[in-house]
Protein backbone atom coordinates (compact mmCIF):
# COMPACT_ATOMS: atom_id res chain seq x y z
CA UNK A 1 0.00 0.00 0.00
CA UNK A 2 1.36 3.40 -0.98
CA UNK A 3 1.86 5.95 1.79
CA UNK A 4 2.14 9.71 1.54
CA UNK A 5 5.52 11.38 1.87
CA UNK A 6 6.34 14.87 3.08
CA UNK A 7 8.27 17.32 0.93
CA UNK A 8 10.50 20.24 1.80
CA UNK A 9 9.33 23.76 1.11
CA UNK A 10 11.51 23.78 -1.96
CA UNK A 11 9.59 20.76 -3.20
CA UNK A 12 12.79 18.92 -4.12
CA UNK A 13 13.65 16.57 -1.24
CA UNK A 14 11.27 13.81 -0.23
CA UNK A 15 11.29 13.13 3.49
CA UNK A 16 10.31 9.53 4.30
CA UNK A 17 7.85 9.16 7.13
CA UNK A 18 8.97 7.52 10.35
CA UNK A 19 7.38 4.10 10.84
CA UNK A 20 5.79 3.39 14.19
CA UNK A 21 3.37 0.79 15.56
CA UNK A 22 0.52 1.57 17.95
CA UNK A 23 -0.05 -1.18 20.51
CA UNK A 24 -3.76 -1.41 19.80
CA UNK A 25 -6.34 -2.84 17.41
CA UNK A 26 -8.70 0.11 17.74
CA UNK A 27 -9.25 1.81 14.38
CA UNK A 28 -10.93 4.78 16.06
CA UNK A 29 -7.91 5.37 18.27
CA UNK A 30 -5.63 5.14 15.23
CA UNK A 31 -7.66 7.71 13.29
CA UNK A 32 -7.71 10.04 16.29
CA UNK A 33 -3.96 9.80 16.80
CA UNK A 34 -3.01 9.98 13.12
CA UNK A 35 -4.55 13.43 12.85
CA UNK A 36 -1.87 14.60 15.29
CA UNK A 37 1.07 12.44 14.16
CA UNK A 38 2.10 14.28 11.02
CA UNK A 39 5.33 12.86 9.62
CA UNK A 40 4.70 9.36 10.99
CA UNK A 41 3.57 6.23 9.18
CA UNK A 42 1.48 4.62 11.92
CA UNK A 43 0.28 1.02 12.00
CA UNK A 44 -1.97 -0.84 14.39
CA UNK A 45 -0.33 -3.91 15.90
CA UNK A 46 -3.36 -5.90 14.69
CA UNK A 47 -2.07 -5.39 11.13
CA UNK A 48 0.75 -7.76 12.13
CA UNK A 49 -0.69 -10.12 14.76
CA UNK A 50 -3.81 -10.71 16.89
CA UNK A 51 -2.36 -11.39 20.34
CA UNK A 52 -2.49 -8.78 23.09
CA UNK A 53 0.09 -8.04 25.76
CA UNK A 54 -0.82 -9.26 29.24
CA UNK A 55 -1.62 -6.23 31.39
CA UNK A 56 0.04 -7.44 34.57
CA UNK A 57 1.32 -4.04 35.72
CA UNK A 58 0.16 -2.34 38.88
CA UNK A 59 0.02 1.12 37.30
CA UNK A 60 -0.91 2.76 34.01
CA UNK A 61 2.77 3.36 33.33
CA UNK A 62 3.74 -0.28 33.81
CA UNK A 63 0.95 -1.47 31.52
CA UNK A 64 1.76 1.13 28.84
CA UNK A 65 5.40 0.00 28.80
CA UNK A 66 4.38 -3.68 28.65
CA UNK A 67 2.16 -2.99 25.65
CA UNK A 68 4.82 -0.95 23.85
CA UNK A 69 7.54 -3.58 24.41
CA UNK A 70 5.23 -6.37 23.22
CA UNK A 71 4.34 -4.52 20.00
CA UNK A 72 7.97 -3.61 19.32
CA UNK A 73 9.10 -7.19 19.92
CA UNK A 74 6.52 -8.64 17.54
CA UNK A 75 6.98 -6.07 14.76
CA UNK A 76 10.57 -4.87 15.01
CA UNK A 77 9.31 -1.27 14.87
CA UNK A 78 9.34 1.55 17.44
CA UNK A 79 6.10 1.38 19.39
CA UNK A 80 3.70 3.41 21.48
CA UNK A 81 1.64 1.74 24.18
CA UNK A 82 -1.01 3.49 26.22
CA UNK A 83 -3.08 2.67 29.26
CA UNK A 84 -5.92 4.76 30.54
CA UNK A 85 -8.77 4.67 32.98
CA UNK A 86 -11.26 6.52 35.12
CA UNK A 87 -10.10 7.22 38.68
CA UNK A 88 -12.76 8.26 41.20
CA UNK A 89 -11.58 9.92 44.42
CA UNK A 90 -14.42 8.61 46.58
CA UNK A 91 -13.73 5.04 45.43
CA UNK A 92 -10.01 5.19 46.30
CA UNK A 93 -9.14 5.42 42.62
CA UNK A 94 -11.44 2.71 41.31
CA UNK A 95 -12.29 1.62 38.67
CA UNK A 96 -8.80 2.77 37.62
CA UNK A 97 -6.81 0.02 35.91
CA UNK A 98 -9.98 -2.06 35.74
CA UNK A 99 -12.11 0.58 34.02
CA UNK A 100 -12.82 -1.55 30.95
CA UNK A 101 -13.86 -4.55 33.05
CA UNK A 102 -15.32 -2.91 36.16
CA UNK A 103 -18.54 -4.91 35.87
CA UNK A 104 -16.81 -8.11 34.74
CA UNK A 105 -14.26 -9.46 32.30
CA UNK A 106 -16.46 -9.04 29.21
CA UNK A 107 -18.58 -6.16 30.47
CA UNK A 108 -20.10 -3.67 28.04
CA UNK A 109 -19.72 0.09 28.44
CA UNK A 110 -23.30 0.28 29.68
CA UNK A 111 -22.74 -2.41 32.30
CA UNK A 112 -19.65 -0.59 33.57
CA UNK A 113 -21.53 2.72 33.78
CA UNK A 114 -24.44 1.05 35.54
CA UNK A 115 -22.11 -0.43 38.15
CA UNK A 116 -20.35 2.90 38.69
CA UNK A 117 -23.63 4.74 39.22
CA UNK A 118 -24.79 1.98 41.55
CA UNK A 119 -21.73 2.01 43.81
CA UNK A 120 -21.81 5.83 43.88
CA UNK A 121 -25.53 6.09 44.60
CA UNK A 122 -25.00 7.31 48.16
CA UNK A 123 -22.00 9.55 47.51
CA UNK A 124 -23.23 13.14 47.96
CA UNK A 125 -22.79 16.12 45.68
CA UNK A 126 -19.42 17.74 46.20
CA UNK A 127 -17.68 14.41 46.73
CA UNK A 128 -17.92 12.94 43.24
CA UNK A 129 -14.64 14.24 41.78
CA UNK A 130 -12.89 12.01 39.25
CA UNK A 131 -10.31 12.14 36.51
CA UNK A 132 -9.54 10.41 33.26
CA UNK A 133 -5.86 9.42 33.19
CA UNK A 134 -3.84 8.40 30.14
CA UNK A 135 -0.23 7.23 30.21
CA UNK A 136 1.71 6.69 26.99
CA UNK A 137 5.04 4.92 26.62
CA UNK A 138 7.39 4.96 23.64
CA UNK A 139 10.14 2.43 23.02
CA UNK A 140 12.61 2.45 20.14
CA UNK A 141 12.92 -1.33 20.35
CA UNK A 142 11.58 -4.08 22.60
CA UNK A 143 14.38 -3.99 25.20
CA UNK A 144 14.80 -0.21 25.18
CA UNK A 145 16.21 0.57 28.65
CA UNK A 146 14.99 4.17 28.49
CA UNK A 147 11.31 4.19 27.50
CA UNK A 148 9.78 7.64 27.28
CA UNK A 149 6.61 7.95 29.34
CA UNK A 150 4.11 10.76 29.78
CA UNK A 151 0.88 10.98 31.79
CA UNK A 152 -2.01 13.38 31.26
CA UNK A 153 -5.04 13.88 33.50
CA UNK A 154 -8.49 15.25 32.64
CA UNK A 155 -10.37 16.33 35.79
CA UNK A 156 -14.12 15.96 35.98
CA UNK A 157 -17.07 14.90 38.10
CA UNK A 158 -19.30 11.83 38.09
CA UNK A 159 -22.81 12.97 37.20
CA UNK A 160 -25.73 11.17 38.83
CA UNK A 161 -27.28 10.14 35.49
CA UNK A 162 -26.22 9.58 31.89
CA UNK A 163 -26.30 12.46 29.43
CA UNK A 164 -25.28 12.56 25.77
CA UNK A 165 -24.51 9.91 23.18
CA UNK A 166 -21.33 11.13 21.48
CA UNK A 167 -18.82 9.21 23.53
CA UNK A 168 -17.98 5.76 24.83
CA UNK A 169 -16.84 4.20 28.08
CA UNK A 170 -17.80 6.47 30.99
CA UNK A 171 -18.19 9.62 28.86
CA UNK A 172 -21.93 9.86 29.48
CA UNK A 173 -21.42 10.37 33.23
CA UNK A 174 -18.08 12.22 33.18
CA UNK A 175 -19.12 15.83 33.67
CA UNK A 176 -16.96 18.85 32.82
CA UNK A 177 -17.85 21.99 34.76
CA UNK A 178 -15.97 24.17 32.28
CA UNK A 179 -18.17 22.93 29.44
CA UNK A 180 -21.37 22.52 31.49
CA UNK A 181 -21.74 19.12 29.83
CA UNK A 182 -20.66 15.51 30.00
CA UNK A 183 -17.96 14.36 27.59
CA UNK A 184 -20.67 12.46 25.70
CA UNK A 185 -22.40 15.77 24.98
CA UNK A 186 -19.33 17.30 23.34
CA UNK A 187 -18.79 17.44 19.61
CA UNK A 188 -16.03 14.98 18.61
CA UNK A 189 -13.57 17.69 17.55
CA UNK A 190 -13.91 19.51 20.88
CA UNK A 191 -13.59 16.27 22.83
CA UNK A 192 -10.41 15.39 20.98
CA UNK A 193 -8.88 18.80 21.61
CA UNK A 194 -9.52 18.54 25.35
CA UNK A 195 -8.91 14.85 26.00
CA UNK A 196 -6.16 13.45 28.14
CA UNK A 197 -5.08 11.15 25.28
CA UNK A 198 -4.49 14.14 22.99
CA UNK A 199 -2.55 16.01 25.68
CA UNK A 200 -0.43 12.93 26.41
CA UNK A 201 0.29 12.24 22.76
CA UNK A 202 1.37 15.81 22.03
CA UNK A 203 3.70 15.72 25.04
CA UNK A 204 5.15 12.39 23.94
CA UNK A 205 5.75 13.50 20.36
CA UNK A 206 7.56 16.59 21.62
CA UNK A 207 10.10 14.27 23.27
CA UNK A 208 10.61 11.72 20.47
CA UNK A 209 10.77 14.08 17.48
pLDDT tens per residue, range 23-50:
998 887 888 888 888 889 999 999 999 9
Give the whole-angstrom CA distance, residue 107 versus residue 151.
Answer: 26
Q: In the chain, how many domains are there? A: 1
Q: What is the pTM of this model?
A: 0.86
What does the DSSP 8-state code read for residue 146? S
Is residue 97 one of the residues assigned to a domain? yes
**CATH label of the domain that carries residue 164:** 3.90.950.10
Assess whether pLDDT exceeds 70 at residue 8: no
| 1 located within any domain | no
Assigned domain for 32 exists = yes
**Is-contact 143 69, C-beta < 8 A?**
yes
In the set 82, 83, 122, 171, the catalytic residue is 83
Percent of the chain scoring above 70 in pLDDT: 92
Count of CB atoms situated within 10 Å of the CB of 28: 9
Tell me: pLDDT of 4 over 80.
Answer: no
Q: Is 83 a catalytic residue?
A: yes
Domain contains 56: yes
Q: By residue range, what is the domain housing residue 97? A: 6-208
* Helix H or strand E segment including 86: strand 79-88
Judged on CB neighbours under 10 Å (0-12, 13-18, 19+), 115 is middle
pLDDT at 154 exceeding the cut of 70: yes
205 and 143 Cβ atoms separated by less than 8 Å: no
Q: Cis ω on the peptide bond leading into residue 86 (within 30° of 0)?
A: no
Question: In the predicted model, what is the mean pLDDT of residues 92-108?
Answer: 95
Q: Is 80 helix (H, G, I), strand (E, B) or coil?
A: strand
pLDDT interval class at 119 (50, 70, 90): very high
Residue 209's pLDDT band (cuts 50, 70, 90): low
Amino acid sequence: MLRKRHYSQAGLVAQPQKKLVLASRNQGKLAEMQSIMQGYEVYLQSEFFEEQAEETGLSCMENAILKARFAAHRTGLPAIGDDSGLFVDALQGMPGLYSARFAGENATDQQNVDKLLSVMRDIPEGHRQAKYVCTMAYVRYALDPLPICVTAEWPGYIFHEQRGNQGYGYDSVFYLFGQNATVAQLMPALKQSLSNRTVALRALLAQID
